[in-house]
Amino acid sequence: MSQKIKIDSLCVKEYPDQRTTKPHQLPLYATSSFVFEDAEEGIDIFTGKKQGHSYSRYGNPTIDTVAQKLADLEAFGTGLNAYGFLTSSGMSAISILMISLLKQGDTVLTQSDLYGGTTELLLKVLSNVGIKVIFTDLNNTDAVEQHCLNDRSIKLIYFETPANPTMKCIDIHSISKIAKKYGAFTCVDNTFCTPLIQQPLSLGIDFVIHSTTKYLNGHGNSIAGIIIGHEEKIKHKIWTTLKLMGATCNAWDAWLINNGLKTLSLRMAKHAENAMNIAIWLQKHPKIKRVNYNGLEDHPYHEIAKKQMKSFGGMLSFEIDLPLNEVLNVLNKLQFCTMAPTLGDVDTLILHPVTSSHLNVDKSQREANGITDQLVRMSVGIENQDDIIADLSQALQ
């Protein structure tokens, strides 16, 4: 301190950072704001003349570092210079991107078997501000092109592949080609795959969304999302929307994501190995009516998945050939697997979509897409697969 101050003031004042060498791990910048050297520096940062941090809603070193790492993973080997914006959740990532790209009168073309929360966002929130939605079979490329030709208000084609929870796959490259022809943006929710299994940017997609809460973190201890893109002319618009709507991630959750990423490669390999073996076991069980796992050669979307995915991931769903009340009894008998409304953790998680994630989706829309009362979604963990199978076996008896 340049002047002598009282002891009670000394308690309040921040001391200079005593760091002398570079930390081995990314520091957690738990600060709401950053100090300017002088008034002129503050002006330069706020006017964009100089790059710098000012307020953590606008940017934070922990958050920005992790966002760029995730963007680099999505763009790895593509030659693209990708950027990323971490948000407060996967849903906020979807919301911020759509609000950034769309205006009143614009239309989103999408699939009818989206995650239930995304379907509700489109129908109950974005529709209120004049953004329309068309649901169609995105694998029917003739129909997709016809929609784009007949309705020039379509400004975004948004999809999940594999879809949650049906595991339906969509040909990414085919959709990106049609969208470019008609001047529409494209966005893929890549949460189920992570960039280690699937890289939509390499197939011509404009934006990728993740709920980082899931596989990227992998340990079920943070909630966040990310928007990843490479179109520089849209970058500032997304940042402005994110900043003004206040849906930014916080440094703690970003730091937790960064820790999880260090084992992502090992985890995804084990998730995929376990899921394949459990899918094969389920397929042979007399009480299982259908197994949705793209790694099975007789699965209707196996060839599409094989073309654009490096492995088949850790997610699957299956139908139990029993009435609803007995399906719920089977789930209640599980002892090793955990019933929880999330996915992508290291332990095996079970969810009943009709009574949870897709509860508020219209029943006719659910059933038309195979989301029946009997359908169970399974996020296969990295435990010993014998323990997972033993639990399923005893519950199904």
Residue at 225 is within a domain: no
Name the β-bridge partners of 229.
83, 207
- Please indicate, yes or no, if residue 281 is contained in any of the structural domains: yes
132 within domain boundaries: no
Question: How many domains in the chain?
Answer: 1
Tell me 188's DSSP state.
E
**Residues acting as catalytic residues:** 57, 115, 189, 214
Q: Which domain holds residue 303?
A: 264-396
Residue 181 has a CB neighbour count (10 Å cut-off) of: 11
Q: pLDDT 10s per residue in the chain (397 long)?
A: 557 899 899 889 988 888 899 999 999 999 999 999 999 999 999 999 999 999 999 999 999 999 999 999 999 999 999 999 999 999 999 999 999 999 999 999 999 999 989 999 999 999 999 999 999 999 999 999 999 999 999 999 999 999 999 999 999 999 999 999 999 999 999 999 999 999 999 999 999 999 999 999 999 999 999 999 999 999 999 999 999 999 999 999 999 999 999 999 999 999 999 999 999 999 999 999 999 999 999 999 999 999 999 999 999 999 999 999 999 999 999 999 999 999 999 999 999 999 887 887 888 888 777 889 999 999 999 999 999 999 999 999 9
Say how many CA atoms lie within 13 Å of 355 toward its Cβ. 14
Reduce the DSSP state of residue 266 to 3 states and report it.
Answer: helix
Instruction: Flag whether 26 is in a domain.
Output: no
Domain of 273, CATH number, reads: 3.90.1150.10
Cβ neighbours of residue 90 under 8 Å, at least 6 residues apart?
Answer: 189, 191, 209, 210, 211, 212, 213, 214, 224, 225
Is residue 85 included in any domain, yes or no?
no
Is 282 inside any structural domain? yes
DSSP code at position 248 = B
Residue 364 placed within a domain: yes
DSSP string, 38-87: SHHHHHHHHHTSS----BTTT--HHHHHHHHHHHHHHTTTTT---EEEEE
Q: In what order do the strands lie in the sheet with 288-292?
A: 288-292, 315-320, 375-379, 349-351, 338-339
- Token duo for residue 160: 């999940």
**94: number of Cβ within 10 Å:** 25
- Decide if 300 is inside a domain: yes
Residue 333: both structure tokens together: 């008998």
